[in-house]
């Protein structure tokens, strides 16, 4: 008896992509690594910075969320695998045969990758922030040194939300780049080059005026990059043979 899988509807494609990524070797480890590395580097940063002057000039959000600079690489690799693994094994041809609307396949992958990244990003960033809030006051980040009586402010909350969104957008950027290049190694090299050789991250989490500009400028620029990469990736996916 033959079984015909019907992927004509987007929900079916979404379920298929979720199943593939969930069962992909390394997905769980990468998600765990994103949390551990982000929290670990952030905790080390918070513990290693001391404010002993009247105005030490350190941004608590930058110090406490430094681990995002490491976690971004992990979520980028996860996103690359979501597309690159299928191209490397040839399974992408099976996917396209089951779901001829290739842009729908990429959209489904984007939703799944974004969801998994957010699922890891929330505990990673929130854990980093909570550790920083517990550690930094003991390191001199107090009202006596020019800081407010409480570091948990609306600006801190925006920094946390912005960091989670940043990680999601990095993953989507990596997904789009991989769809364009169709090669995991080339995509990883390109994305990491963009993240670490060009100051995308600096515009988002290293800006001392984070609370005024992060959402409007840094996140906005990265969103344009991410969705632009996805759009170009969709065109390449639709126009080139698997």
Question: What pLDDT digit, counting tens, does each position of 154-168 carry?
Answer: 777 888 999 999 999
What pLDDT shows up at residue 189? 95
Q: Is it the case that residue 209 has pLDDT exceeding 70? A: no
Prediction pTM value:
0.85
- Which structural domain, as residue segments, surrounds residue 90? 10-239
Question: How many residues does the structure list for the chain?
Answer: 242
| Cα gap 42→110, rounded to integer Å | 27
Greater confidence (62 vs 214) lies with 62
CA dihedral 67, 69, 74, 79 (to 10 degrees): 130
- 4 occurs within a structural domain: no
| Cα gap 119→223, rounded to integer Å | 19
- 211 occurs within a structural domain: yes
The structural domain count of the chain equals: 1
| Cα gap 39→197, rounded to integer Å | 23
Percent of the chain with pLDDT over 90: 49
- 230 occurs within a structural domain: yes
What pLDDT shows up at residue 5? 41
- 34 occurs within a structural domain: yes
- 156 occurs within a structural domain: yes
- 58 occurs within a structural domain: yes
Q: What is the pLDDT of residues 93-122, one digit of tens each?
A: 998 888 888 899 999 999 999 999 999 999
């Amino acid at each position: 008896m033959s079984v015909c899988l019907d992927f004509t509807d987007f929900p079916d494609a979404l379920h298929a992509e979720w199943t593939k990524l969930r069962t992909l070797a390394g997905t769980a480890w990468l998600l765990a690594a994103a949390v551990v590395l982000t929290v670990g580097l952030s905790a080390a940063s918070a513990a290693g910075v001391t404010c002993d002057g009247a105005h030490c000039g350190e941004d608590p959000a930058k110090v406490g969320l430094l681990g995002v600079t490491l976690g971004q690489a992990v979520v980028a690799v996860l996103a690359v695998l979501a597309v690159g693994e299928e191209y490397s094994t040839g399974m992408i041809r099976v996917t396209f045969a089951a779901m001829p609307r290739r842009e729908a396949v990429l959209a489904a992958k984007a939703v799944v990758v974004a969801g998994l990244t957010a699922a890891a990003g929330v505990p990673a960033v929130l854990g980093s922030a909570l550790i920083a809030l517990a550690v930094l006051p003991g390191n001199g980040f107090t009202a006596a040194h020019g800081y407010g009586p409480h570091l948990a402010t609306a600006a801190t909350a925006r920094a946390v939300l912005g960091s989670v969104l940043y990680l999601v957008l990095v993953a989507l950027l990596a997904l789009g780049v991989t769809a364009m290049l169709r090669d995991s190694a080339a995509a990883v090299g390109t994305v990491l080059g963009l993240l670490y050789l060009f100051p995308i991250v600096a515009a988002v989490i290293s800006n001392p005026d984070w609370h005024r500009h992060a959402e409007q400028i840094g996140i906005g620029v990265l969103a344009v990059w991410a969705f632009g990469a996805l759009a170009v990736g969709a065109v390449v996916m639709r126009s080139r043979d698997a």
